[in-house]
Amino acid sequence: MPPREPEPDPVEWVRERWEEQGLPEAGRFAAAASLMRAHAVAIQGFEAALRPHGISRTAYLVLVTLQLSPGGARRLSYLSRYLMVHQTTITQLVDQFEQRGLVTRQPHPTDRRTTLAVLTKDGRALVKRATKDAAAAGFGLDGLSDDEVSALTGSLRDVRRATGDLPE
């Protein structure tokens, strides 16, 4: 029985075909494909850690943002901009949080248009538990050395700079 042919890395497979057929920007396509795959697998581990707590990734990020904010409070519009998700998503998430008693809506003291999302005691407890589990899963990046984590963050900063995600 012949040794099983080693199945190639999908990214390298596509890069070779891409070049063979003379398509443009092979390196950039391979990088984009890598980014999508790496994101997909990392997200998978991340969300698996959150699932037992009954919250999605975006929901977790909202709660963490509140946790790290002064008084556990932020305007809904801030959350939308900061996390790069649609305003509607924030409205719906805060609805769910309120029903579960994790967050309360409070009027802004001076601007009557805006409402604040404020983390409750229960919300703070939940985000603490979820963070423990997510950290144990390395936030989807388990298995990388500290050096690799640093290099990754640096390369991704290049991407974010090039696409205007970094201030200045």
Partner DNA sequence: CGAGATTACTCTAGTGCCCAACCAATGACA
Partner DNA sequence: TGTCATTGGTTGGGCACTAGAGTAATCTCG
Positions touching DNA (CB under 7 A) are 56-59, 75-77, 80, 84-95, 105, 108, 110-116
Q: Name the pairing type of β-strands 115-119 and 73-75.
A: antiparallel
Query: Quick one: CA dihedral 81, 87, 92, 95, positive or negative?
Result: positive
In angstroms, give the least distance from the CB of 53 to a copy of itself: 16
In angstroms, give the least distance from the CB of 108 to DNA: 7
DSSP H helices, the chain, are 10-20, 26-50, 57-67, 76-83, 87-100, 121-136, 146-162
Selected binder of a copy of itself within 22, 71, 109, 143 (CB under 8 A): 143
In angstroms, give the least distance from the CB of 103 to DNA: 11
Is 118 within 8 Å of 138 (Cβ atoms)? Answer: no
Is 5 a binder of a copy of itself (CB under 8 A)? no
Considering only residues 73 to 92 of the shown chain, the ones binding a copy of itself according to CB under 8 A are: 82, 84
Comparing CB distances to DNA, the nearer of 4 and 112 is 112
CA–CA gap between residue 85 and residue 35 (Å, rounded)? 19
Query: Quick one: CA dihedral 48, 122, 96, 80, positive or negative?
Result: negative
In angstroms, give the least distance from the CB of 69 to DNA: 14
Comparing CB distances to DNA, the nearer of 21 and 113 is 113
